[in-house]
């Protein structure tokens, strides 16, 4: 862990809560926050006590993408290599998020712009406060969608809506995002953290191995044929069927009690 204040980290009842914490800059990313967020997801992967992640932001925004003050063109000098920024900072974190075989809940507490919007979309279940907006802000500053946005938007929404959002940078309300299936739910602002926390806690009490394999299957479906997918379901169900949590789940059902999953 970095111990950075730019991402607040708590672990409670199996839920690793990561709170982006540069509220006066709407939690936009500087290098320190990049490294702290990456360290959070590295811990989520390595620490078996972590059985779900809850990602959110402090203050009135979720995340406004890259801190644009970091590269002020008025200061002169050569143009920055933004490809290097992506390769060094964003892409490793996006890959960690996508490859984590534990559930990730994202609670979008306010505006999510640029890479901030697309990091939210990389999470598994996204809840947003009704006052939150999603903005593909890149077009306003001459950039292309990054942090996986060109992939996830087209995949989730289809080309017409993905292109309109990316080319216009028009804000999308949380309710419309939910209507369009871009996120799971828009909830009353006052209820967001309780609802997202309860969801993360219930996922953390779930059969972590099986949930992780479920994610693997759904991700693979993007590039596999039905035949390949059926084979993969067979193989992963074999693994799930040998897990202690499967035995516990069936035993609990037969004994008419709540299952106590250990995540194994």
Burial string for 34-59 (b: 16+ CB within 10 Å, else e) reads bbbbbbbbebbeeeeebbbbbbbbbb
**113 contacts ligand LHQ (rule: CB under 6 A):** yes
Helix (H) or strand (E) holding 98: helix 91-99
Q: Least distance (Å) from ligand LHQ to the CB of residue 226?
A: 36
Region near ligand LHQ per CB under 6 A, out of 25-33, 96-104, 186-194, 203-211: 25-33
Q: Is the CB of 37 or the CB of 52 nearer to ligand LHQ?
A: 37
**167 contacts ligand LHQ (rule: CB under 6 A):** no
Q: Least distance (Å) from ligand LHQ to the CB of residue 49?
A: 32
Residue 237: Cβ-neighbour burial (10 angstroms; 0-12, 13-18, 19+): middle
Q: How far apart are CA 160 and CA 214, in angstroms?
A: 29
Q: Least distance (Å) from ligand LHQ to the CB of residue 37?
A: 13
* Six token digits for residue 231: 């084979």
**105 strand-pairing partners:** 54, 125
**Per-position x/- string for 38-67, each x denoting binding to ligand LHQ as judged by CB under 6 A, each - no binding:** --------------------------xxxx
Q: Is the CB of 81 or the CB of 231 nearer to ligand LHQ?
A: 81
**111 contacts ligand LHQ (rule: CB under 6 A):** yes
Decide if 55 contacts 18 (C-beta within 8 A): yes
Region near ligand LHQ per CB under 6 A, out of 100-108, 137-145, 235-243, 254-262: 137-145
Q: Is the CB of 58 or the CB of 214 nearer to ligand LHQ?
A: 58
Count of Cβ atoms closer than 10 Å to residue 91 Cβ: 15
Closest to 179 (Cα-Cα) out of 164, 161, 202: 161
Which residues ranging from 231 to 250 are in contact with ligand LHQ (CB under 6 A)? none
**26 contacts ligand LHQ (rule: CB under 6 A):** yes
Among 82, 139, 220, 232, binds ligand LHQ (CB under 6 A): 82
Q: How far apart are CA 118 and CA 35, in angstroms?
A: 18
Distances (CA, A) of 200 to 41, 54, 98, 262: 15, 6, 17, 16
Binding site for ligand LHQ (CB under 6 A): 25-26, 28, 64-69, 82, 85-86, 111, 113-115, 135, 137-138, 140-141, 143, 146
């Amino acid at each position: 862990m970095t111990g950075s204040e730019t991402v607040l980290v708590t672990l409670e009842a199996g839920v690793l809560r990561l709170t982006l914490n540069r509220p006066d800059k709407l939690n936009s990313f500087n290098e320190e926050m990049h490294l702290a967020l990456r360290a959070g997801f590295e811990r989520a992967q390595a620490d078996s006590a972590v059985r779900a992640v809850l990602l959110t932001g402090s203050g009135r925004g979720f995340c406004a993408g890259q801190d644009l003050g970091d590269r002020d063109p008025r200061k002169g000098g050569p143009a920055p290599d933004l490809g290097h920024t992506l390769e060094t900072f964003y892409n490793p974190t996006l890959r960690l998020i996508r490859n984590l075989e534990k559930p990730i809940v994202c609670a979008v507490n306010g505006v999510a712009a640029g890479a901030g919007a697309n990091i939210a979309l990389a999470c598994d279940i996204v809840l947003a406060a009704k006052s939150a907006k999603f903005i593909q802000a890149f077009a306003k500053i001459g950039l292309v969608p990054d942090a996986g946005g060109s992939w996830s938007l087209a995949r989730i929404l289809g080309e017409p809506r993905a292109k309109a959002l990316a080319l216009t940078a028009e804000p999308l309300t949380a309710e419309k995002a939910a209507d369009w299936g871009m996120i799971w739910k828009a909830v009353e602002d006052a209820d967001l953290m309780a609802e997202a926390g309860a969801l993360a806690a219930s996922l953390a009490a779930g059969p972590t191995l099986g949930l992780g394999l479920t994610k693997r299957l759904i991700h693979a479906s993007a590039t596999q044929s039905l035949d390949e997918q059926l084979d993969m379901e067979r193989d992963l169900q074999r693994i799930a069927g040998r897990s202690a949590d499967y035995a516990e789940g069936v035993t609990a059902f037969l004994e008419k009690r709540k299952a106590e999953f250990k995540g194994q």
